[in-house]
Amino acid sequence: MSFSFGERVKKKEKIEILAPAGSQEQLVAAVRSGADAVYLGAGGLNARRNAENFSGYSRLREAVEYCHASGVDVHLTANILVRDDEWPQAEELVGQVCDLGVDAVIVQDAGLARYIRSAAPELVMHASTQMSLHTPGGAVAAAEMGFQRAVLSRELSGKEIADIVAVSPIETEVFIHGALCMCLSGQCLFSAVLGGRSGNRGLCAQPCRLPFRVTGDKSGFDGCMSLKDMSHIEHIPALEQMGVASVKIEGRMKRPEYVAAAVTACRMMRDEGEVPPDLAQKLMAVFSRSGFTDGYFTGKRGRGMFGTRTKEDVVSASSALLGSLHPLYKNEFQRLPLQMKLTATDENSPAALEVTDCEGHSARVTGEKPQPAQKAPFSNDYAGKILGKTGGTPFFLETMTAEVGEGLTLPSSALSAMKRVALERLDSLRRAPEPIAFDCGREECRPSRRREFGNGKPSLRVVFRSSAQVPDEMEGVSMVYLPLETDSEILCDTAERLRTQKIIPAVEAPRGLFGAEKQIETYVMQAKQHGVEDIMIHNAGLIPVMKKHGMKIHGGFGLNVFNSRSLDEYARMGISDSELSLELMLGQIAALASAQPRGMIIRGRIPMMITRNCPAALSPKGCTGFSVKTRENEKKCSVTDRTGRELPVLCRMGCSEIFNPVMMSVVGNVAGKTCDELSLDWVTLSFTTESREECADIISACLHGTPLRESGITSGLYLKGVQ
């Protein structure tokens, strides 16, 4: 006699809900409220170093085991820039990740990606949003680097996301809820410059949340560098329809109640198509900055996206409110379907129960011998009622088959005992790690050896913000960069004038590329028509585009080249030479081991931020930032801090860059030193707000070794470094 209980439900592939887990309490809240995956950090190599994290092998192992037992994937964050001296730490972390069978590792550093690809090719890598991926070319470049998923920039519109997903050779992930940085992730130097706490190294102090106002704006609003938190939860169905693989909740520094509320809201929108108004209101009350915004997704950027954390926002997260959210994660979330097979055919042999989960793990236990039925015969409903009670576990009974001898039965206590032991064994099987092969001894895991640079002086390159800044005479400069979007006739005339001085004319692509790939290609073809074939890029997404057009690619500071392996990796991808990160110290630069050509900026305003939401949007006059097309509005747009200092704001192709009010210069620190002493091939002067005459004087002084007579300058981070 046999019975079947339930029907095998075909699992529907749904968009993944990825939740933050900055602490054990957050981890439990995320898992129990229904997250499909969590992301967490271990040790110092993650972008939330101030979170509790899961430092130490035993804590990390317990977290991974708990998640895997519950059917939740673990994405480990290793998403900071790695110094060469930190490589033993990185190697140890990658080894632990492989040993524990972590499902994916999130990476920002190109050198770390190169290392993982060589030492652990089977380890799944996700390209961090810190890589500033926001174009179709960015997804292609990430795939070439060995990533299986690209975490896209928060600033993208729904249409731009769809355009990327349509051509991406790898999975895509988008942020769905949580804090919005003013700056494009991976491009912010604000915290590093002001206090040595680098956002690219996981220690952002959030200085942008301090009082700032648009210069001259008398509205009284002091939050022109602070955006509201994002909430795109209502757009989850659209994202799923596009083919986005995962939606990510930001918030590893927030409370577990916030995590539970956000996960539940995302899950309900995905599974049921709506979020109850009461839950939506509680989610806003537990944490927000003057409410939420979906301005980036809808393309409605501007005044409505700005907001600060007010007193009302703080007090709304009352004890009563937090307590009302506890039931969301009081019990285990039952996400793992089970197949059960009960065999009790002979009263002289023990009954057996076999349980199999949806991933193929199987456990078999034996129990009591079946007994002759005294009253009601054994039935499907009777067995299902007992075996289907799986509360307190992540399992639920989906299908049951029973083979029971005629006239035999089993007491409920025997069925319950077999079920309990079987589920415990299944839990143990699920916790057992599935190690990933790891071999750090391979030759390709090491950077190329440092070459001898020679005793000559580094050559001089110059970057101009506008063609109007270019002096007539610059003989002795090796290369000059103009903005890629410079007027065609002006570019042609300037390039010819440079060639007569034996200077290589080149162009510089913008750092912000949102929706502009086709426009960029048009400008590239224009440059080639005028014989300009050298281009500096700040985003890996332009590598495939520039290679297609046969341009000689020079890497800019926006690529965040921070270590020897990153130099090697970008060279492998087709970059001829690289400008080093502005966060490296001079001694760290000199110690780089790679043989690849490199240079550094020795004078210029430090670009503190690049944003797609110009702070001048808060001004009644709107954005009046200096454009490369004209110099009429130069210096008219700036942001004023609480000390009265003005930070220039310069706009370019839909993005605004906010610069340090103090000029950076280490000209005196590198003057007279050889290429070998500096471990550099060239040095760069970067001009932003300077006049043509100022540019000419500074270039001449550098070419002739004349001291620059500048007061009130800073050495930036080259001498003090970052944490």
- From CA 165, how far away is CA 241, in angstroms rounded? 11
Tell me whether residue 300 is in a domain: no
**350 and 481 assigned to the same domain:** no
Residue 390: pLDDT over 70: yes
Tell me whether residue 405 is in a domain: yes
What CATH number does residue 264 fall under? 3.20.20.70
Tell me whether residue 556 is in a domain: yes
Tell me whether residue 195 is in a domain: no
User: What's the average model confidence in pLDDT over 9-30?
Assistant: 84
User: What's the average model confidence in pLDDT over 589-609?
Assistant: 97
User: What's the average model confidence in pLDDT over 295-305?
Assistant: 93
Structure confidence at residue 10 (pLDDT): 32
Q: From 171, 175, 183, select the one nearest 233 (Cα to Cα).
A: 175
Tell me whether residue 438 is in a domain: no
> How many domains, in total, are found in the chain?
3
- From CA 531, how far away is CA 543, in angstroms rounded? 20
Residue 545: pLDDT over 50: yes
* Domain end among 431, 465, 486: 431
Q: How confident is the model at residue 417 (pLDDT cuts 50, 70, 90)?
A: very high
Q: From 396, 349, 342, 385, select the one nearest 370 (Cα to Cα).
A: 349
Structure confidence at residue 623 (pLDDT): 62
Residue 3: pLDDT over 70: no
User: What's the average model confidence in pLDDT over 67-78?
Assistant: 97
Print the domain residue range for 392.
336-431
Could you read off the pLDDT of 314-372 as tens digits, one per residue? 889 899 999 999 999 999 999 999 999 999 999 999 999 999 999 999 999 999 999 99
**382 and 512 assigned to the same domain:** no
**424 and 456 assigned to the same domain:** no
Percent of the chain with pLDDT over 90: 84
User: What's the average model confidence in pLDDT over 86-100?
Assistant: 94
Task: Say which DSSP state 486 is in.
Answer: S
Task: Say which DSSP state 466 is in.
Answer: S
- Ordered DSSP codes for 65-97: HHHHHTT-EEEEEE-S---GGGHHHHHHHHHHH
**255 and 363 assigned to the same domain:** no
- Ordered DSSP codes for 17-69: EEEE-SSHHHHHHHHHTT-SEEEEE-TTSSS-TTS----SHHHHHHHHHHHHH
Could you read off the pLDDT of 226-256 as tens digits, one per residue? 999 999 999 999 999 999 999 999 999 899 9
pTM value?
A: 0.94
CA distances from 501 to 465, 477, 483, 510 (A): 20, 9, 20, 26
**148 and 115 assigned to the same domain:** yes
Judged by DSSP in three states, 271 sits in helix
Residue 9: pLDDT over 70: no
- Ordered DSSP codes for 691-710: -HHHHHHHHHHHHHTPPP--
Tell me whether residue 222 is in a domain: no
Beta bridge partners of 4: 401
Structure confidence at residue 691 (pLDDT): 95
- From CA 21, how far away is CA 251, in angstroms rounded? 8
User: What's the average model confidence in pLDDT over 709-716?
Assistant: 90
Structure confidence at residue 624 (pLDDT): 52
User: What's the average model confidence in pLDDT over 395-414?
Assistant: 93
Structure confidence at residue 52 (pLDDT): 78
Could you read off the pLDDT of 485-518 as tens digits, one per residue? 999 999 999 999 999 999 999 999 999 999 999 9
**505 and 545 assigned to the same domain:** yes
Chain-wide mean pLDDT for the chain?
A: 93
Residue 214 contacts residue 639 (beta carbons within 8 Å): yes
Looking up tokens 């702070």 gives 615
Structure confidence at residue 447 (pLDDT): 93
User: What's the average model confidence in pLDDT over 424-442?
Assistant: 95
Could you read off the pLDDT of 653-691 as tens digits, one per residue? 999 999 999 999 999 999 999 999 999 999 999 999 999
**136 and 172 assigned to the same domain:** yes
**176 and 98 assigned to the same domain:** yes
* Domain end among 372, 406, 431: 431
Instruction: Find the range with the poorest average confidence among 197-206, 319-328, 520-529.
Output: 197-206
**426 and 458 assigned to the same domain:** no
Q: Check residues 668 and 44 and name the one with the higher pLDDT.
A: 668
**266 and 375 assigned to the same domain:** no
**458 and 423 assigned to the same domain:** no
**70 and 113 assigned to the same domain:** yes
Tell me whether residue 549 is in a domain: yes
Structure confidence at residue 221 (pLDDT): 81
Structure confidence at residue 88 (pLDDT): 92
Instruction: Find the range with the poorest average confidence among 12-21, 164-173, 393-402, 534-543.
Output: 12-21
User: What's the average model confidence in pLDDT over 445-452?
Assistant: 92
Q: Counting Cβ atoms within 10 Å, is residue 339 exposed (0-12), middle (13-18) or buried (19+)?
A: middle
Tell me whether residue 124 is in a domain: yes
